[in-house]
A and B are shown apart, each in its own frame.
Chain A
Amino acid sequence: MSEPRRLDDDQLAAELERRSRSVSLSRDWSRQDLLPAVSAAIDTRPQRVTASRAPAFAGLAAAAAILVVLVVAVPRISPGQPSSSASPPPNGARVLTAAEFAAQVSAGVLNGKTVLVDGAIRRYDAPGILYGFNCWQEYMFPKDAPPGGDCVLGRLDVPGETIWVNAPYVETLNSLRPIRAEPGDWSWQAPQPPIEGRLVLSVSTAGFIEYLGTVLPSSADAISVEAANQIDIDSLSPEDVILVEGWLWSVEGSGREIFIDCRAPSSSPIPGLPNNYCQPRDSLVSERPSAEGLSRGGAHLPVQRGAARTFGVHTDDRAHVFAVAPRLYGVCFEVAPCWQWEVVGRVSTGPTVAPTPTDPVPTPAVLPITHTCGPIASLDPSQQDQSLAWGRHTVVDETGLIERCEGSSAPTTDVAPLTVSNLGQDQTVLVVHWASVCEISGRFTFRRNQTAFELLAESDLPLNTLCDGLPVEHSLLLYMREPTAADKVDMQVIRVGTDLPTATPTPTLTPVSRMIECPVDPTSGEPDLAPKVSLSDHTGLVGDCSAFAGTPEFMIVDWSKPTVRNSGTSQLQVIWRGTVCDHQANVLVSRHPDALSIDVNLADEYASCDNPSAGYLVLNMLKPIDAGTVTASISRASDSPDPNPPPDAPATGDPVLAGQTVACPYSDPVGRPTEVSIVDHAGLVIRCEASISSETPAEQISLANAADDPATLTLAWQVAAICSSMPARVDLWPPPEGTREHPQGPKYALHLDVLDPVAGEIQGCRDVVGTQQLRLFLNEPLSAERVDALITHGMSGTDSQLTAAGTFTLTVFARAAEYAVDEPIDVHAELVYEGPARSAVVTGVGELVNGFGVRQLDGPISIGPGWNEPCIRDSLTNGVELVEPYRKSGGWSEDDPLRDFYMSFFADPELRLPAGTWAITAYSEFYSGECGGELVKLTASVVIEVRGTN
């Protein structure tokens, strides 16, 4: 094996220089190659900036630009005065000049319509009011709620008229705006005036005018669905609108069944963005749908669910022209977020109008109709478990009275019988509800009987089956075309197949263990990387299984164990982190009293293989199983425990050495001798050595034993810059008296205090992150795990310490570094968010500074903190410190020798401490975002001296 390659700064710079020069550019490349491409792209996309360019271009740049415009020959919209007549309209679409639009708006004839207007929207700056400018503040909106209204863009450019135009905020990637954002971040954004071109304007029934986007010149005459499919949606912005001619069609209510891909997406959802995961989508189609559905040869463009209902109910036979624009979605099968098409308006005229809920819909002529039930639209998607198989509920309507159906499924604790009722007083909705362990297949038949109606629920389970598993609650909403009283509907459960005698015991209660070889799915993941998976089922619940592998792109918070999740009520996904060298995985499925257990054991092929790869196993279970109740573990064949672990005898220290100061010499970056001192309160240190390097450590502070010497400790910490003077002090404290044998009691404490140099503020600093290292040679072995390492920054002469994790910073303040016995000690902590967003959503225990701990460095006392672990949502406003005063928390046992002290300590509302050296530490642990997101752990400590007589 070759030696790993290491780079110093100069080598790294040289490699990057080589990389940046790996392509030879022609002389004047920017002018001759880049500029024409940029100019052409700008000219062929909607104009957003005032075209106040000079009348005559100068120089080569201008010549190149003119040449490109002529070659591309893209029609451009003339800015300024509205033309007397607009360019030819697309098929059936209404295109107006700005003046025509103004006149028709004034007359109220455009109310409720969406039209195309050739014109411009100008920013209007009144004293103190910058319309349009405020649309730039959109990034300040929190992401958990859309902005409360439109942005007032400005005025339509019509001489003598005042036509205000507004625009909705839409979710947008931050790549187009000069605002602070994190990778992959998004924000609510509105367009920015001036805007000119063929504008898509919607006029509400109250005359409120909304700008929906600007028509791409290439689609000005309305393009076909086929052509729309050829457009690279990623190259557009949400303000770019294409006009597409076709029919809007929805599978829902069509009487057709459709396959919906509900596999887990390969990238993590982006919170806050729209989510159409596992939902049917409507389509813009090139050929008129018939009662039998879509023709096989036609093209279709997927658009948002509900588009057909909102924009597309046809009462004539011709195609219409729809305005379609990109919108950002947060759950995508590949990389999230992603752009998807949405219909934003219908611009063609004709006898059709957007339907209202009371619009009559012709009764389909072909019966029966099979409805596949989508999720319940009125429920917040975040409240629904979309991994459950709602899509399996189907209703065969033999009456023609059912318009559509919606359903939801979720794990529950109790079973409930099958019932039917109306939704409150609304007899146009029938609610079917049941909760069952034995899953009814979800197939219903609605038909007339002799009295009124009957709803037959089909079950493919034999009679008297005792089901073993978790109940799943189902709700089904049947939207009727006419009022239907629930008491007129008889419910029946019918069995499919041969019923067994009632006395026959269910085989599911006497599971038979069996071995299953899970075949590799050749169509998913990276089959070449998939290990051979042998499954041993001791539950009788596993039907079959399949395995595959891939790169670990999931945002799995905890890779220490397999993640188990539902991909259907009866389908489980098991995902674990392995390596590309895993050739065999043995999976054991067993039963605990209340849940399943899945244990994955990986066989090592090459012990040194560390290229990560995710292993996936799909288990099709015979019963609904809630993944949340499944426990999982992972192990490796090489994980066998050492049968003879070395004893970890506690170090005792040499009282003769205790209290001495040991100098650790080293050479500074320019070769001058210097040293770090260590104050050894434990009597362990024989000698020490220090060093400094430009290596960057992974952690702010780390402590480890030398690989070959358990009596050597290596302490390393990160320094912000390397300077000629690196002041630092190390104190090594022994375990407090009386606690040495306590398994959970205080351990050795190593307190490192560093005065952080700041490049540019101290002479002789080199502006690189580096590592300072200290090797402590001890007079007896001491495991690093028995030493708590604590770092403070600049204790000498300061009274506050901070620690930062990403965009969060926790600082703890003490009024002074020294206090008298019985003097109240003022301590507080401040937590601040300084990230790209206006505020950060965090989830934690309710108090973002969880608590404070007090530890006596030269004695036995250690107090708190303690906190529970609920998930309570909170937020931090950017740059605003959350100030938390010191508060006491913690506990002690009744037999604790310090019980009396603790009782008096907690009885005192003030923080008072006995004489000694104390570390007061603030703890802050929370999730960035929702519970289970990125865990942020911060601690910051101050060390104070309390002097006097106790």
Chain B
Amino acid sequence: MDRELLDRARTGDREAFELIVVAKGEPLFRTALAILGNEADARDATQEAFIASWRSFAGLRDLERFDAWIGRILINECRMALRRRRRVREVAVDDSPDSADRQTSPDSHESSDFDDAFSRLNVDQRAILVLHHLHGYGVREIGAWMGIPSGTVKWRLSRARNALRAELERQ
């Protein structure tokens, strides 16, 4: 990301910020979609992440960390999206935490199984798998996104993969 653009946005330049939204919008939406599995939630999370970033942009001290910073905000918004969804959840016979995830039409039975299993992971587990296996981030980058040490990333990545495997085996 252009440092000058970021610097302008940090000082309150709305036009610069809007260019950042245009440039980063779709990648962040795709990340949120992979985490949440629900288009409406992913749109909301992406939108809220940009709004939150605008509100606190002046506090971004290290512009080099912008990607990790807004990624962190996005993950928090994904977390909030799931919380909001749970709050309005009706008691259902199926106690899957995120049964609404399934509205994303699967291409196949196996994909549906995967979505079901993935939706049973918590948002941090989903995020760490998305960052590592979808975006190919290493542990240091993930640590920056999630604000945790590299060693913890390794451990959480291991736990997330285990959890996903357990959910797949449960089906």
Contacts and interface: CB of A to CB of B under 8 A. Distances in A.
Interface of A: 4-7, 9, 12-13, 15-23, 25, 29-31, 34-35, 37-39, 41-42, 45, 48-54, 57-58, 61-62, 65, 136, 173-181, 183-184, 192, 194, 234, 237, 334-335, 525-526, 528-529, 550-551, 580, 610-611, 613, 696-698, 718, 720, 759-760, 767, 769, 804, 806-807, 809, 834-836
B171 A175 contact: no
Contact of B152 (A61, A529, A807): A807
Given A30-B29, A178-B60, 5 more contacts: A16-B34, A34-B25, A41-B51, A179-B147, A720-B154
Given A45-B51, A49-B55, A234 B80 contact: yes
B33 A804 contact: no
B29 A34 contact: yes
Q: Is the interface of B mostly helix, strand, loop or mixed?
A: helix
Contact of B15 (A58, A334, A767): A58
Given A12-B129, A807-B152, A17 B171 contact: no
B111 A15 contact: yes
A51 B12 CA distance: 6
B164 to A, nearest CB: 8
Interface of B: 11-15, 18-19, 21-26, 29-31, 33-34, 37, 39, 42-43, 46-47, 50-52, 54-60, 69, 72-73, 76-77, 79-80, 83-84, 86-87, 91, 93, 95, 97, 104-105, 107, 110-111, 113-115, 118, 122-124, 129-130, 133-134, 138-139, 147-149, 151-152, 154-155, 157-159, 161-162, 164-165, 168-171
15 contacts: A16-B133, A18-B111, A29-B26, A30-B22, A31-B25, A34-B50, A50-B11, A52-B11, A180-B148, A335-B86, A525-B91, A528-B93, A611-B170, A769-B161, A834-B152
A136 B47 contact: no
B154 A30 contact: no
Contacts of B15: 53-54, 57-58, 61-62
B158 A61 contact: no
A696 B164 CA distance: 11
Contacts of A697: 158, 162
Contacts of A42: 51, 54-55
Contact of B170 (A174, A183, A610, A834): A610
B147 A38 contact: no
A718 B158 contact: yes
B147 A769 contact: no
Query: Lowest 4 A-B CB distances belong to which pairs?
Result: A30-B25, A180-B147, A4-B169, A20-B34
Q: Is the interface of A mostly helix, strand, loop or mixed?
A: loop
Contact of B158 (A48, A335, A696): A696
Contact of B33 (A20, A38, A41, A53): A20
A16 B11 CA distance: 36
Contacts of B58: 49-50, 192, 194
A423 B41 CA distance: 56
Contacts of A177: 56, 59
A178 B11 contact: no
A613 B96 CA distance: 11
A807 B149 contact: yes
A739 to B, nearest CB: 35
Contacts of B18: 35, 39, 61-62, 65
A334 B85 CA distance: 12
B12 A31 contact: no
Given A20-B30, A35-B18, A177-B56, A334 B133 contact: no
Contact of A4 (B34, B46, B124, B168): B168
A178 B30 contact: no
B13 A53 contact: yes
A23 B39 CA distance: 7
Contacts of B105: 22
A449 B32 CA distance: 72
B165 to A, nearest CB: 7
B51 A696 contact: no
Contacts of A696: 157-159, 161-162
Contacts of A759: 138-139
A194 B55 CA distance: 10
A57 B110 CA distance: 49
A48 B55 contact: yes
A177 B61 CA distance: 12
Contacts of A21: 30
